[in-house]
Chain A
Amino acid sequence: MRFTGCDADRGGGAGGGEMSNQRTRRIDRVTAEQLLRGVPVDAPGVRGGGVERRLAGVLAAAAAPVRVGELAGEEAAVAAFREARLGPAVESRRQSMIQSALAKLLTVKVAALTIGFTALGGVALAAGTGTLPTPLDKGPSAHPTSSPSAGSREGAGGPESPRPSPSLKGKGAGSKGTPSPSMVGLCRAYAARPVGARGKALQSPAFTALVTAAGGKQNVAAFCKVVLAAKASGAPESPAAVRPTEKPKSSGAPVEPGGKASRPAPSVTPTARVSG
């Protein structure tokens, strides 16, 4: 690996500025091309170590095997594929249905966003002044079974465990008998299900609070999208949790073909470098 500066890893520290680094060392095109192709940095003839090795690590991670949740749309995609086989008449009708459904969903999202942000502000204010009202008084332990996956995630997630649900207040719907400590947790659990299994999941008592808060099963998807988006943008203290990487009940998810756990193929070439 050729560098214009031939020093070994000088380890960051100095100067810290991007410009100074650019002057002192620079990845040349040959190196870059190898990195883009996923040639392992410790392959013969390649000088490992230093920043190019770290870069290779980042690229390998980016191309890493499929993550839980990434294939959530599989059944929907296959269903669309089947329908497309049925012929143009059905297809175009179906297409317009899908489009109008999408349009409707977007409208709901915008409306819900507005409500959501308002509600969040309200909750933040209330929390700040210590006047948060009580549907949450029951706490997570009151219903140990009601939302197992949400609970475990929150527990694992650490600091911000059971949170008041902004939406509970915001929607004003079903504030009575809403046991869940966390719409965020429920939404994560919901989102972690394969798309095809979500409708059924909502029939479970575990999701009753979620359905109530969303104002009906048909609104849950849009509702959760907003809750999770609001959570993501408004809660810097919550790391990594929005995209569950380890679903509590992952066995139900579509697994890679043939149970290929090792590296099921986000792309053909780059994954090979992980082991290298």
Chain B
Amino acid sequence: MNELIKSAAALLESNAVQVVIGYGKGSASRTRAIFVTNVTDCEKLIFDSRCVQNLAVYLTKQEIKKLGKPAIVAPIPVLRSILQLAVENQITENDLVILGITPESELINFETFASIETFLATHRIAIDEKYQEIISKIKNMPVAERFAYWVKELEPCFKCYACRAACPLCYCTRCTVEDNQPQWISVAAHPLGNLEWHIMRAMHLAGRCTDCEACYNACPMAIPINLLTKSMLQDVAENFGSYGPSLDKENTLSSFKPDDKESFIR
């Protein structure tokens, strides 16, 4: 990815950005997110099939914001998250430079969020047949069996919240799960607490999730929580006709109004 290194170096050189969020060599055969702040280190940037972590998660982290304006290496899942963050007014076009990467590993620049949307229109979210089969199998289970299935699958969850931390759309600085006056959902990682947590997470992401699977990839217990978000994605598409972020539309299921009459959400 010489092009990527050149573009990143040029951006840092001209001070158009102060940090490049990209992928570099990690432990053993892994890759990891790196934060390049000088031209010399740009050669550490790599991009290949191992680079699956969704870097958009760093755009809203206070530690990264402190480094200055970022350029971000953005394959398709990252582009989708950027667009969704834009829909939710978490970032503006002036906040970042996008070093887009096509599925053919070509560098592609996006000057505007609208141009990302145009590009993504030809790269739509599609749920694998393999997953569609599993999801319909689960949906067709009798209620008791389905309940038992999820209790068992969620049993290893010890609530490390890696799913939440890795998700670019879980950017709240305070999560409902940590409120204890009143306590909305059980904090403990027991069967009830685990069910409540994962149901809440899936519901909160319904109509917002862009199927990047960061949550599933982050889970140290490899719990198939992506089945929940994929299933929600299908439901939203079937019932509301949308599949993925769009600048012209509000979120399908969640909206925020500053003059909402309910006080608890402020």
Q: Does B bind A?
A: no
Chain A residues at the B interface, C-beta cutoff of 8 Å: none
Q: Which residues of B contact A (CB under 8 A)?
A: none
